[in-house]
Amino acid sequence: MLPTVVIVGRPNVGKSTLFNRLVGKKLALVDDQPGVTRDRRAGEAHLLDLNFSIVDTAGFEDEPAASLAGRMRLQTESAIAEADVILFVIDARIGVHPDDRHFAALVRKSGRPVILIANKAEGKVGLAGAYDAYSLGLGDPLPFSAEHGEGIGELHEALRHYIGVPESEAGDEADEDDAGEDGAKPLRVAIVGRPNAGKSTLINTMIGQDRLLTGPEAGITRDSIAIDWQWRGRDVKLFDTAGLRRRARIEEKLEKLAATDAIRAVKFAEVVVILLDATIPFEKQDLSIVDLVEREGRAVVIGLNKWDLIEDRQATLAALREKCDRLLPQVRGCPLVPVSGLAAEGLDRLMEAAFRVADIWSRRISTAQLNRWLEGAVSAHPPPAVSGRRIKIRYMTQPKSRPPYFALFGNQLSALPDAYTRYLVNGLRQTFDLPGVPIRLSMRTSDNPYADRKKR
């Protein structure tokens, strides 16, 4: 298991920029506005011969525990309790702020090793602030610039004293690449939906701890947070995402960044759980989110959250099932699972559905089976004629899965009507039991070797 390094400090001192620098990717959202980061975000860092888990945290703010800022501070304190090393970051251009002194005392009480980083120390002004950091009593400050990568060598030397990893172990870690104890990669499940649908609350209940920031305020989550978890002995990587609103309603740059991060999580997931508020399901934005997930080719599970607020559950579920099939024909038959993150209802059914659609998403169908079905489908409903010539469909095969992708061979297939394509897709879905996954159908028309020859 990799050692854990936690980055802490006041808002807007450059913690997320440092996090991105160490993981080598722009994972954490970065903006000039203070307080961008709210949840803990973990990543795997590689610094020369050192390998460690790095955790970005919300900025320390001295606010009441019940407030949003207070709940963010509690999340940061939880991260400190799990840390092997703490990187305490200050803004060298401003120098030591009174809040820096207050939180430095808190970090000292944790008993964890602390490396003091004076960030934004490029230039003469920054160096003066770095020297001022001696007054915090956390040892020698390390002048650093997360934006420009200055001070990386000094940080490496400081970390080696606490988390030196032999090269052989580092190589073993890199080779495993997300694999679980049995060597199998975890199922990647993204939880998406409109703001305040209860995504973070649901994940906290699933993993059995208050890992994610929650509250009555809409739009608390900004970063897409990845969480490693096990369900019935099977490895799962859960992704909590920011709520997705209609593009016309998104005005702030920060919300645009959060929405982009959520869409990125969808692209890298295998199964996407689209969480709806059961009291107001299938809003226009819900349908747009399903459409987005289908275009990305991910397997779909629809979770009906806040099910504990529904009175006539059987009749409501039947009505929602009919509505789902009518409004979402592109993922017809997708699992519709009632859940309650607050009351811990339906969580096992949700994960069973996720693993089931993941298997369907990866399914391969033999060419012989496909062509036996195709022969019957074409005989029952032949394709129409185009300009007096009958469209000929010769055969079908499945070149790949994830999602199921079928290639149809014949002549004049480019003229095949959309209605006939839907007929084939619906037939494939029903015959081969492919509910809840996008189906791709590619037309492959044979070239006519005499098309370009001049008549003699």
The answer to whether 28 and 140 are in contact (CB under 8 A) is no
* Residue carrying the six token digits 């997705």: 244
How many angstroms separate the CA atoms of 214 and 200, rounded? 6
> What tokens appear for 437 in the block?
């996954």
How many angstroms separate the CA atoms of 301 and 286, rounded? 13
- 302-351 pLDDT, tens digit per residue, is 999 999 999 999 999 999 999 998 999 888 889 999 999 989 999 999 99
Tens-digit pLDDT string for the chain (456 aa): 788 999 998 888 888 889 888 888 777 666 556 556 767 788 888 888 888 999 988 877 767 767 777 777 788 888 888 899 999 998 888 888 888 888 888 888 888 899 999 888 876 666 776 777 888 888 888 888 888 888 888 898 889 888 865 444 444 444 445 555 555 789 999 999 988 888 989 999 999 988 877 766 666 776 778 889 999 999 999 998 887 876 655 556 666 777 788 888 899 899 999 999 999 989 999 999 999 999 999 999 999 999 999 999 999 999 999 999 899 988 888 999 999 998 999 999 999 999 999 999 999 999 999 999 999 999 999 988 877 778 888 899 999 999 999 999 988 888 888 899 999 999 999 999 999 899 999 988 765 555 555 554
The strand pairing partners of 345, in sequence order, are 340
List of residues 6+ apart from 200 with CB closer than 8 A:
212, 213, 214, 220, 221, 240
- 169, 165, 175, 26 alpha-carbon torsion, rounded to 10°: 170
Q: Where are the beta strands (DSSP E) in 35-83?
A: 41-47, 50-56
CA angle 9, 12, 16 (to 5 degrees): 75
CA diameter of the chain: 96
Angle between helix 253-268 and helix 284-295 axes, rounded to 10 deg? 50
The three-state secondary structure class of 368 is helix
* Residue carrying the six token digits 């990386």: 152
DSSP 8-state class, residue 386? E
Domains identified in the chain and CATH numbers: 4-176 (3.40.50.300), 187-359 (3.40.50.300), 367-445 (3.30.300.20)
Sequence letter at residue 211: R
pLDDT computed for residue 183 by the predictor: 56
> What tokens appear for 359 in the block?
């298997």
Q: In what order do the strands lie in the sheet with 336-338?
A: 225-231, 234-240, 187-193, 271-277, 299-305, 336-338
**End-to-end CA gap in the chain:** 76
pLDDT computed for residue 307 by the predictor: 95
pLDDT computed for residue 405 by the predictor: 94
The three-state secondary structure class of 406 is strand
Nearest residue to 49 (alpha-carbon basis) of 152, 194, 135, 170? 170
How many angstroms separate the CA atoms of 126 and 117, rounded? 12
Report CA-CA distances (Å) from 237 to 16, 118, 188.
Answer: 22, 34, 5
CA 418 to centroid of chain Cα atoms: 33
* Residue carrying the six token digits 């004076």: 118
- 278, 283, 285, 287 alpha-carbon torsion, rounded to 10°: 90
How many angstroms separate the CA atoms of 261 and 27, rounded? 8
The three-state secondary structure class of 143 is strand
How many angstroms separate the CA atoms of 260 and 224, rounded? 10
pLDDT computed for residue 38 by the predictor: 67
Q: Considering the entire predicted model, what is its pTM?
A: 0.76
* Residue carrying the six token digits 């003469």: 124
Please return the burial class of 99, using the count of CB atoms within 10 Å of its CB with bins 0-12, 13-18 and 19+: middle
Q: How many helices (H) and strands (E) does the chain have?
A: 13, 17
